Structure 1
């Protein structure tokens, strides 16, 4: 069949790289990318992660070096996770001013100032001997309200250490209100509260366990969301907004693009997504096996977040992609 004159031909808009770039609906920019970073107290040199090729647990020195590289590449921010030498039931190192995470925050703030956005993971899982995101009750379950007291203390400690943003990733009910109130009472009214509003009990977090030396006993299904549920995420969004969240997060990313898109449609505040460790590992291992084109797969996965409505993306490829975006020729531009 021959098309008649005047027939609509969408392919006209795909004929050259320049034309495709001009009509692109979604774009990546280095400032859209946030680099998660792990700093471990006991290390004398960076420790590569076997489950996440190319990612390391940092020393304080290597953390600063990698942070400077990321900032030079134009990434939008840095999200820090700390791994202490000593872990206990209450995660006492989490709000210790001399704890590894708070020392790392101060190091970056002293050296980078306001040239980037310095963020802190606000959760207890890296600091507890049982690996849960909160304080345990006498029956071994996570005590929501006792955990809020710990989170409030962590928020103030992280703000004092220099965090611009505290990332509430524990999925405790009322965590945004508890941290916002604590920050305001201590005069940290400008510190941003970023809520992990939709964080699912996901298998895609697997490699992260190695990254933070997790000692998790059991699972987190009683406080993280059920992967079968979508409407529940919108309820969590409404609650976090009512409690004063400045930014909201969907995590993981690619398995929950439908949730991300709905949150982005409804949220009046910025919406971020986290490309988690399992997503990273799948692409890296598939590429190393020759199954996919690594760079194309990375860029396609990130543009999917933007297409779904994410304003920014936490990704372990942040520095690499930012460098590539900066140096791209017209033919390679997204």
Structure 2
């Protein structure tokens, strides 16, 4: 794997004589480190374990790391992780308040969704929000075009909830639409795929690679739910020099970040808000609300505003938990003097 993606940003972090590789695979705490000419199994050093402060500090797929080779250069002892350009994260599933890094140093994220029962506009909004939070650019890839009666209508719905985001429809079997999608592949950049199980992420990667690298399985006919074919995160290099990260399917995406970046995801609502009579308009019952007027005129879906408010509340709660802890946050949000 040639280091066409190792640029000045990373070079300036490496001292003379240090050896650098990229994490291409992570499974059950075991790493694969790749350099220009070889691939090694790796693990973090004892010193790394001792100095790490939080889970996000451990290597993730896409990270560049400084390592020491041992066992005649067949294994790598990871000493440190280079600063990241971007971090695609989510809140860990369950009740814990902690961050799970999905991939690092990705320039674009393909949101893969099927034009079948799995199709969900609210889920797409959540993905777009998290990708903007990461610093990467989102792209929506709609698969199983052949199983959809009216793909143009559904693509228009996606464009409505992801303003300015490129949207593509493909048929993984016939490869229809694949050439158009290749416009998003840029040599030296890294792309991550995200989406539910069974939407065709592994099939998509095989199509872009031109060979059957990732195993695939059919979805269950009774509920259109996918099986977890991909069980780990892995980095591949495409023939044109683009790198692509496959990830296990996610049944849910719990947001991680703060509410400051939500204006990109909901740029349509933010634009309308500028015309509201009151600067602090909550778009509920205020007179002169341009957002509510747009809903009344059929220019904006009411569900879009509901989703906007829901995600803002969710991100605000995360921000407060990070600052004050769970118990105090609950009092602030649900107590007698709750934040409105």
Which category of TM-score, normalised to the shorter sequence, fits these structures? under 0.3
Q: Which has the higher helix share?
A: 1
- Normalization by structure 1: what TM-score? 0.27
Report 1 or 2 for greater relative contact order, CA contacts < 8 Å, sequence distance ≥ 6.
1
Larger radius of gyration: 2
- Normalization by structure 2: what TM-score? 0.27
